[in-house]
Amino acid sequence: MSALRHIAVIDIGKTNAKVALVDLATLSEVALRRMANAPLRQAPYPHHDVEALWTFILDSLAGLNREQRIDAISITTHGATGALVDAAGDLVLPVLDYEFDGPDRLAAEYETVRPPFSETGTPRLPLGLNLGAQFFWQQKTFPTEFAKAATLLMYPQYWALRLTGIAANEVTSLGCHTDLWNPWTADFSSLVDRMGWRRLMAPVRPAGDSLGPILPALAARTGLDAQTPVFCGLHDSNASLLPHLLSDAPPFSVVSTGTWVVSMAVGGRTVDLDPARDTLVNVNALGASVPSARFMGGREFSLLTEGQPENWTEDDIGAVLAQKTLLLPSTQQGSGPFPHQAATWLDADGINNGRRFAAISFYLALMTATCLELIGADGPTTVEGPFARNRLFVGMLAAGTGRTVIASEAATGTSIGAALLASDQVATHGKGERIEPPTDPAWAGYASAWRAAVEARG
């Protein structure tokens, strides 16, 4: 596999879909295509526009290949999503949007069959965030269509099936708060057998398996070589983690930022995870369990900033730190470390846009610091994705944790890890800037004030 150099990474995020071209020689992105990824809010329920995504993927592969020959394809997607296909590989039901509340209507019934946290490391989550709840709701609500399913696939492997015709599943998506996987036995959970779904489960393959070459018709459509291999793929947060698993010495943590901010601790302190605070056990690409915590930080950032420019001055930062202008959790309720608290501002009267942006960035950083504390994180923290470029976020994260933060240089934190599935190298990718905890005590004082205000709310 060492001959493979330019890897096209299909990266389907909840808010945006991307196809990145990664150069394995430099472990860097050399080209990127992007589109908005909005669900279709139409019958029979809100669902992903897989045909629009498919057209985007094929057009992007064709365009990138004209610029630089693509040697292989890898895939990464958001979690809490799966597909039911028939024997021909066609969907029997649309791919459900996990923010749809339909599964909640059968919550009481689902509670009687889902496994405990001790078996799966999966907390009970609202909406369709537990993939098992989605499939349960679909089977109960659409029994005729569900009965036509021949195969149940995780979302990355749905796209792998469309590219290669080969059905597979993989542990990072199976082990991501689905209720479907037991990380301690490396097998499907009791829910799968209780519901009779084991017969539907495609074979579990390693993330780095080459499933096969691209289908001939797709090679003709895109101009790719007919022997271009397609790798099995993995869950996006675990794609961000993989380069560090291959090159970093524990303890360390990785924060993958996008629609969700997912914190993962490797070699940290032993703690009891609290499922009521959105902590969970992820399964990494090497098959090991990883204490994790999350909140919908990217969504919160979008809601709070509403597209306003990120204009701030050092005077704005000084004023926010001195005045203790605080945003308390949670803007997006129902998940995260404070799922039942409603957001509120303190000492924010008359603040300008620059100060508001600073306080929002600090809030997101201290929510992330809380997540890291809940999972026993230790050592340096690497921030992947868009928040790595927010100097206020990484500075306050360093202040809030009292540890070094590394702001990753990669524009898309998931693409490097997904591309590494096509490589046999173990090399350190570009780390980015190291940010130490600020020496100005006002930063640590702000973090303490935020924590005290949150705690005072009970």
- Tens digits of residue pLDDT in 53-84: 999 999 999 999 999 999 999 999 999 999 99
Q: Would you say residue 367 has pLDDT above 60? A: yes
Q: What is the mean pLDDT of residues 288-314?
A: 92
Q: What percent of the chain has pLDDT over 90?
A: 89
Q: How far is CA 334 from CA 101, 251, 294, 320, 330, in A?
A: 12, 30, 12, 28, 9
On the question of pLDDT at 182 being above 50, the answer is: yes
Tally of CA atoms within 13 A in the half-sphere of 237 that contains its CB: 33
Mean pLDDT of 38-44: 96
**Shortest CA distance to 126 belongs to which of 149, 152, 99, 145?**
99
What is the Cα–Cα distance from 66 to 62, expressed in whole angstroms? 6
- Predicted confidence at residue 1, as pLDDT, reads 42
- 376-429, pLDDT tens digit by residue? 999 999 998 899 999 999 999 999 999 999 998 765 568 999 999 999 766 555
Contact 251, 257 (CB under 8 A): no
Instruction: Indicate if the pLDDT at residue 229 is higher than 90.
Output: yes
pLDDT at 413: 64
Nearest 5 degrees, angle CA 40-CA 9-CA 78?
45
Q: If you classify domain 238-456 with CATH, what class do you get?
A: alpha beta
List alpha helices for 236-333, DSSP H.
Answer: 236-247, 297-305, 314-323
pLDDT of residue 412: 55
Query: In this structure, are strands 326-328 and 229-231 parallel, antiparallel, or unpaired?
Result: unpaired
pLDDT at position 439, please? 97
Check residue 312 and give its pLDDT: 95
Q: What is the CATH number of domain 6-232?
A: 3.30.420.40
Q: Residue 175: what pLDDT?
A: 95
Residue of 25, 19, 20 whose CA lies nearest to 3: 25
Q: Residue 44 — φ and ψ, nearest 5°?
A: -85, -10
What pLDDT is recorded for position 429? 52
Residue 411 has a pLDDT of 54
Kindly tell me if the per-residue pLDDT of 430 is higher than 60: no
Average pLDDT of span 4-22? 96
Are β-strands 344-346 and 381-384 bridged in parallel, bridged antiparallel, or unpaired? unpaired
Examine the pLDDT at 2 and tell me if it is beyond 50: no
In the chain, how many H helices and how many E strands?
A: 16, 20
Supply the pLDDT for residue 425. Answer: 67
> Where does the chain hold its CATH 3.30.420.40 domain(s)?
6-232, 238-456
Kind of pairing between the strands at 381-384 and 405-407: parallel
Nearest to 264 by CA among 432, 360, 383: 383
Give the tens place of pLDDT for each residue, 249-297. Answer: 999 999 999 889 999 999 999 999 999 999 999 999 999 999 999 999 9
Measured CA to CA, the distance from residue 37 to residue 72 in angstroms comes to 24
Distance CA 56, CA 403 (A): 41
Residue 153 scores a pLDDT above 90: yes
**Is the confidence at residue 117, as pLDDT, over 90?**
yes
Q: What percent of the chain has pLDDT over 70?
A: 97
Decide if pLDDT at 307 tops 50: yes
